[in-house]
Amino acid sequence: MDILPDGDQVSESLINVITSLPTIDTLLPHTFPNGSHVDSLSVSCIECGSNIPHENIHGKLEIRNKHTAQLQAHLLCYHCQVVAYYEARLHDDGTVLIRTEGGWTEERYSPQRPVTLQDHFLKLIETAKKLF
Ligand SMILES: [Zn+2]
C-alpha cells in the first residue's frame, strides 16, 4: 500500500489507525427521519485546497438526535502529504456546520431544505389570501 512518509506530523502507526476507520462513502448517504439526506460532502484540503476523495476521508458518524448527526473524520491528502482533522455537524434542515480555526462555518449540503407539510399549508394560505 502506498503510504505517507514517516514525517514530522504523520507517523505510520497514525496512518494505520486512521485507515482502519471506515471511509465516508460507507457512512453516507445518511437519511434523517424527516427525509432529508446527505449524499456526499465536498471536502477540500486545508493546505492545498484540492478536493479530498471520499475514500481518503476516514472517521465515524454519530447520530446525536433525530435532527443532528456529527461527523468526526481524518482527511488524508496524498497530494501535500498531510493529515487533517475534520468535524462537521449535519442537520436535517440541509445545513452543515463545519469546524474551522475561527469557530463553526455554516454551509449547505442540500441546495434547499425539504418541503414540509407546513410549507404546503403556508403556500395554500398565501394563495388563499391573494384570492380574497
Ligand atoms: Zn493537500
Count of alpha carbons within 13 angstroms of residue 47, beta-carbon side? 12
Model confidence pLDDT, tens digit, residues 66-87 = 999 999 999 999 888 889 999 9
52 pLDDT more than 70: yes
Residues 57 and 102: their CA atoms lie apart, in Å, by 22
Please report the pLDDT score of residue 7 as a whole number: 44
Cα 94 to middle of ligand 1, angstroms? 27
Please report the pLDDT score of residue 8 as a whole number: 47
Q: Which amino acid is residue 5, in one-letter code?
A: P
Please report the pLDDT score of residue 126 as a whole number: 85
114 in Cβ contact with 102 (< 8 Å): no
3 pLDDT more than 50: no
Count of alpha carbons within 13 angstroms of residue 17, beta-carbon side? 8
Cα 32 to middle of ligand 1, angstroms? 31
Cα 115 to middle of ligand 1, angstroms? 37
Model confidence pLDDT, tens digit, residues 79-126 = 888 899 999 999 999 999 999 888 999 999 876 555 677 777 888 888
47 in Cβ contact with 86 (< 8 Å): no
Cα 45 to middle of ligand 1, angstroms? 5
Cα 27 to middle of ligand 1, angstroms? 23
The cell 442540500 sits on which residue? 110
Please report the pLDDT score of residue 100 as a whole number: 87
Question: What mean pLDDT, rounded, does the chain reach?
Answer: 86
Number of compact structural domains in the chain: 1
Q: Dihedrals φ, ψ of 107, to 5°? A: -130, 180
Residues 4 and 56: their CA atoms lie apart, in Å, by 12
Cα 84 to middle of ligand 1, angstroms? 9
Q: What is the span of the domain harbouring residue 45?
A: 2-131
Please report the pLDDT score of residue 9 as a whole number: 60
Please report the pLDDT score of residue 111 as a whole number: 65
Cα 132 to middle of ligand 1, angstroms? 59
pLDDT band at residue 47, thresholds of 50, 70 and 90?
confident
Please report the pLDDT score of residue 81 as a whole number: 85
Cα 39 to middle of ligand 1, angstroms? 23
10 pLDDT more than 80: no
